[in-house]
Amino acid sequence: MLLLNIMKIAIYLRNRMLENDPRYIGLIGRFRSGGCDVYEITDGQEIAGGTDIFVSVGGDGTFLSSAVLVGETGVPVLGVNLGRLGFLSENSTDEDELVSSVLSGRYAIEERTLLKTVFLDGEDGALGDIYPYALNEITIHRAGPAMLGVDVTIDGNPLPTYWADGLLVATSSGSTAYSLSVGGPIVMPDSKVLIVSPISPHNLNVRPLVVPDTSKISLSLRARDEKVFLTMDNRSMEVSPGLRLEVSMAQFSLKRIRLSGSNFIKALTTKLFWGEDIRNGR
The catalytic site residues sit at 60
Whole-number Cα distances in Å, 65 to 52, 119, 136, 148, 232: 18, 23, 11, 29, 11
**Do residues 243 and 117 touch, judged by C-beta distance below 8 A?**
no
**Do residues 185 and 201 touch, judged by C-beta distance below 8 A?**
no
Question: How many CB atoms lie under 10 A from the CB of residue 243?
Answer: 17
Selection from 137, 134, 143, 164 nearest residue 152 by Cα: 164
Going by DSSP bridges, is the β-strand pair 217-222/245-249 parallel, antiparallel, or unpaired?
Answer: antiparallel
CA angle centred on 72, ends 68 and 75, rounded to 5°:
85
Which residues in 143-163 are b (16+ Cβ under 10 Å) and which e? beeebbbbbbebeeeeeebbb
d(CA 166, CA 232) in angstroms, rounded, equals 14
List Cβ neighbours of 160 (8 Å cut-off, separation of 6 or more). 206
**Do residues 56 and 62 touch, judged by C-beta distance below 8 A?**
yes
Q: Compute the 3-state secondary structure of the chain and give helix, strand, coil in percent, each to the nearest 5.
A: 20, 35, 45
